[in-house]
Amino acid sequence: MRKITFIGAGSIVFAKNLLVDILAVPELRDSTISLMDINSERLAMIEKIAKRLITENDFPTKIETTTNRKKALKDANYVIAMIQVGGLEAYKLDIEIPNRYGVNQAVGDTLGPGGVFRGLRTIPVYLNIAREMEELCPEALFLNYVNPMAINCLALTKATSLKNVGLCHSVQGTAYEMSQYLNLPYQEINYISAGINHMAWYLKFEHQGKDLYPELKKKYDDPDIYQQDVTKFEFLKHFGYFVTESTIHMSEYVPYFRKSKSWISKIHKMQREDPANSYGGDIGWTTEDESGAYLHVCQVRNKTYQADMEKLINSKIEIKRSNEYGSRIIEAIETGRETVIHGNVSNNDYQISNLPADSIVEVPCLVNKNGIQPTSVGKLPTQLAALNRSNINVQQLAVEGALTGDKEKIYQAIMMDPLTGAVLTMDKIRAMVAEMFSAQQKWLPNF
């Protein structure tokens, strides 16, 4: 039996979705699935869900639960990580300290002060996991779902021998949204996306051989559609291509939007008004300056967590696959049924020729029994590569600092952040970062 290990299975909703994805593949149902988390209460909840799914559907799957990471990793074939080091306590500091200095982050988990410090907390844990995997399951494939995606994957690639890939749903999710803007079936769309995680670009977007970009550009003038994706349509207008990440997320990675209250208000208008929006419309909006939008969502949902989980445990769960790549990778490797994903991988073979080799890129990858095989995209349009490099600069310095314990690299990384540099002087950045180091010391063993 193949063994699939979840590290951080207490991320119950996400773990449940990945579990259902795996069980949706008949050839994977005879797997051993090891659910590991340091929180025994949350672990008990996901165990209830998993065992009920197995029993109700009469699957041969074996479910293991443990708080012992080494036990979970031993003899694993696939390791799926979904952890959050420091939890909401640390995340709150990522948002609130920079906001006091004038750095307004909406999510703060990928770039900027919040993203860098989330990476600093995660990398030491990842290196410990990697050392254990090199001992207990050296041939296993590490599937990373944890942000900051590029920072984490770059650290793993530079410091370990693990086979790893970073996975996100922004490429397929945004492609689906684009198809809806054009009233076309998503299944009939053909596209190529490439760049870096949360800032990849649709280099091709077609329907039955027809280029859809001319039609998409017309939607800039449709206020109902424009308002749903303000930053994406602004990048389409000014840089010529649609970007993969959500409107509020993308606004954090560039200097153009979040230093202006009028732009921030425009970007968040839909989040305030749409009752079904995942960034907080369904739970009430209380943050006047829109800083920490996703932190607010997490805090409110944390208060209703127990009731929400009991409801989930007792609800009927359909065995229906999501659009996440994880189960598709495992299926392709195990069965030979080829698939294409957009994975975050090392650029050491210059899959994108005008981005640094010492970086993590998000490119189409063929997956089959030979594993994950990144494709060569060639050169990005110059303006898109320049935008990507502005983020890669931060990622490289953050990883250098994390692996060496050099605080100066971290100061420099955040000085290079496009949004932070647009609103703060270098002295102010240094003061802000020093305060973040002091506040988060207990999660930063390397410093």
Sign of CA dihedral 332, 9, 3, 57: negative
In this predicted structure, what is the pLDDT of residue 125?
Answer: 97
In order, the DSSP letters of 375-410 are PP-BPPPHHHHHHHHHHHHHHHHHHHHHHHT-HHHH
In this predicted structure, what is the pLDDT of residue 301?
Answer: 83
* Neighbour tally for 169: CB within 10 Å: 15
Summary count for the chain: helices (H), strands (E):
19, 12
Local structure of 338: helix, strand or coil: coil
Say whether domain 88-110+167-447 belongs to CATH 3.30.2320.80: no
Q: Which are the contacts of 267, defined by CB distance < 8 A and separation ≥ 6?
A: 106, 230, 231, 247, 248, 251, 257, 258, 290
| Torsion angle (degrees, nearest 10) of CA 271, 105, 95, 303 | 10
Mean pLDDT on 203-216: 97
145: nearest Cα among 79, 192, 201: 79
Task: Consult the annotation and say whether 168 binds a ligand.
Answer: yes
Task: Consult the annotation and say whether 147 binds a ligand.
Answer: yes
Delimiting residues of CATH 3.40.50.720 domain(s) in the chain: 3-87+111-166
Radius of gyration over every alpha carbon of the chain, rounded to an integer in angstroms: 21
169 is catalytic: yes
Q: Which CATH number fits domain 3-87+111-166: 3.40.50.300, 3.30.465.10, 3.40.50.12780, 3.40.50.720?
A: 3.40.50.720
CA distance 94 to 351: 33
**In the predicted structure, residue 282 carries a pLDDT above the cut 70:** no
Delimiting residues of CATH 3.90.1820.10 domain(s) in the chain: 88-110+167-447
Query: pLDDT digits over 359-407, tens only?
Result: 999 999 999 999 999 999 999 999 999 999 999 999 999 999 999 999 9
- Are 81 and 123 contacting, i.e. CB atoms less than 8 angstroms apart? no
Query: pLDDT digits over 326-352, tens only?
Result: 999 999 999 999 999 999 999 999 999
Sign of CA dihedral 179, 382, 222, 282: positive
Block residue for tokens 């952890």: 83
